[in-house]
Amino acid sequence: MHIGCPKEIKPQEFRVGLTPNAAHEAVLHGHTVTVETEAGVGAGFSDADYIAAGAQIAANAADVFAAADMIVKVKEPQPVERQMLREGQILFTYLHLAPDAAQTQDLIASGATCIAYETVTDRNGGLPLLAPMSEVAGRLAPQVGAWTLQKANGGRGVLMGGVPGVGPARVAVIGGGVVGTQAARIAAGMGADVTVLDRSLPRLRYLDDTFAGVFKTGFASAGNTIELAMQADMIIGAVLIPGAAAPKLISRAQLADLKPGAALVDVAIDQGGCFETSRATTHQDPIYDVDGIMHYCVANMPGAVARTSTIALGNATMPFMLALADKGWRQACSDDPHLLAGLNVHAGQVTYAAVGAALGIVTIDPQDALRQ
C-alpha cells in the first residue's frame, strides 16, 4: 500500500501522523511511504530522518494526497485537505465528527473510508488512541500548575516539594481516570501532598491498591470535593462523563473559599471544563485570574510537548496503521472489531451511530459497510 503523511496545517499543531520509526515499520512490511517535506519539524523529525527510514519526501500536500492509498494524520482534515480526499482512499486520523457538520458532509462527499482514532476501542472498554494524549495531558498538568503557582504568574508562591522545614504544596486531583492518575503520580513525584477524588469506587479501589503511600484517595461527593479544594494550593480538574459536557464542580461563588493564588488546572476544558469560571486558553496565553484564583485551561495540552505526544500517539496507532496497510481496511476491520469501531464514514455514508444521532444523519451499520 502507498501510505501518505501530510504536514499538519491546523494552527498551533506541531505533531505529525507518522514518526520515522512508524514509517520504517511500514517500509519493512513492504509498503511505500510518502511524507510531505517538513511534516515532522514541529516534532523534531527532519526530512533526512524520514529518508533514512526508507520514506520518500513530497514537495507538497497535494502530491501526498494524490499518491497515497491511505492518509495518516493527527488532526481532522481541514477544508482544503478534505477536497483532496477521493473515493476508495483511507483516512486514519482524529476526526471528532459529532460537533462538526461541515467536516462530516465533506467526508461523506469525498467517498473516502474514514477511521477515527478517538472511537477505536480496546478489549477493556478503553479508547487506546485517546489514552496516550490523556497520559501526556495528565503528566503535564502538575508541571504547568507548578509554574502557575509561581508568584510572577499570579500564583500563591508555593513550591511543590516544599523544602526541609516547610511543607509541600497540597494538590487535589478531581477525577482519577487516565489524566488524573498520571497527574497525581507526577505531582507526588514532585514532592507534593496529593489526594485524588473520584466517584467510582472500583476506580478508587484500584488507585488505593496501586498507589498506597504515593497519594491518597477520596470519594468525590460535592461536600468532600469543595472541602479538599479549600485546602489545596493546586486543583487539577480531570473528570469525564463519556458523551456529556463536564460537570461543574466548583462554582464562581466558591472561588472565594479557595486559598488566594491557588492554581486551577482544568484539563477537562476540552469537554467544557469542570469549573464554572473555566474558559479555553491557548499555549500563547495559557493562564488568567478570576477573583485571585489562577486558571490554566489549555484545550490542546499535548501540543506543548509535540515530540513526546507524536511518539506516544505513533506507538499507539502503529499496529492499527500496519493492519490497515497489510490487509486493506475491509479485512483489517473484519478481523478486529476494535478497529471497526473506528470506522465513521465509508463511501458516502456515516457508519458511526453517535455521529449520525448528533447531526441528524441516517447511518448504516459498520458491518454492512464491510459487506459493500
Residues of the shown chain interacting with ligand NAD in the complex, contacts defined by CB under 6 A: 133-134, 137, 174-180, 197-200, 203, 220, 238-241, 246-247, 267-271, 299-302
Nearer to ligand NAD, 113 or 182 (CB): 182
DSSP, res 236: E
Helix (H) / strand (E) element for 171: namely: strand 170-174
DSSP, res 148: H
Going 308 to 52 to 323 to 99, the CA torsion angle's sign is: positive
Minimum CB distance to ligand NAD, residue 248 (Å): 10
Residue 106 among the catalytic residues: no
Q: How many helices (H) and strands (E) does the chain have?
A: 14, 15
Nearer to ligand NAD, 61 or 246 (CB): 246
Nearer to ligand NAD, 257 or 368 (CB): 257
Instruction: Tell me the three cell numbers of residue 249.
Output: 464542580
Nearer to ligand NAD, 111 or 128 (CB): 128
Q: Can you tell me which residue has the cell 479555553? A: 280
207: left (phi over 0), alpha (psi -120 to 50) or beta: alpha
Minimum CB distance to ligand NAD, residue 58 (Å): 30
Nearer to ligand NAD, 79 or 223 (CB): 223
Instruction: Give the contacts of 275 (CB within 8 A, at least 6 positions apart).
Output: 235, 237, 248, 249, 250, 264, 266, 295
Q: Can you tell me which residue has the cell 479485512? A: 331
Minimum CB distance to ligand NAD, residue 8 (Å): 16
* Amino acid at the residue 82: R
Instruction: Give the contacts of 266 (CB within 8 A, at least 6 positions apart).
Output: 237, 273, 274, 275, 278, 295, 296, 297
Minimum CB distance to ligand NAD, residue 157 (Å): 25
Nearer to ligand NAD, 36 or 198 (CB): 198
Nearer to ligand NAD, 267 or 369 (CB): 267
Residue 291 among the catalytic residues: no
Residue number closest to ligand NAD, CB atom: 177
Minimum CB distance to ligand NAD, residue 21 (Å): 23
Per annotation, catalytic residue among 270, 295, 336, 346: 270
Burial of 107 (0-12, 13-18, 19+ CB in 10 A): buried
Per annotation, catalytic residue among 96, 100, 283, 338: 96
Instruction: Tell me the three cell numbers of residue 236.
Output: 487539577
| CB contact at 8 A, 25 and 36 | no
Minimum CB distance to ligand NAD, residue 133 (Å): 5
CA atoms within 13 A on the CB side of 164: 0
Helix (H) / strand (E) element for 231: namely: helix 222-231
Minimum CB distance to ligand NAD, residue 103 (Å): 19
Catalytic residue IDs = 96, 270
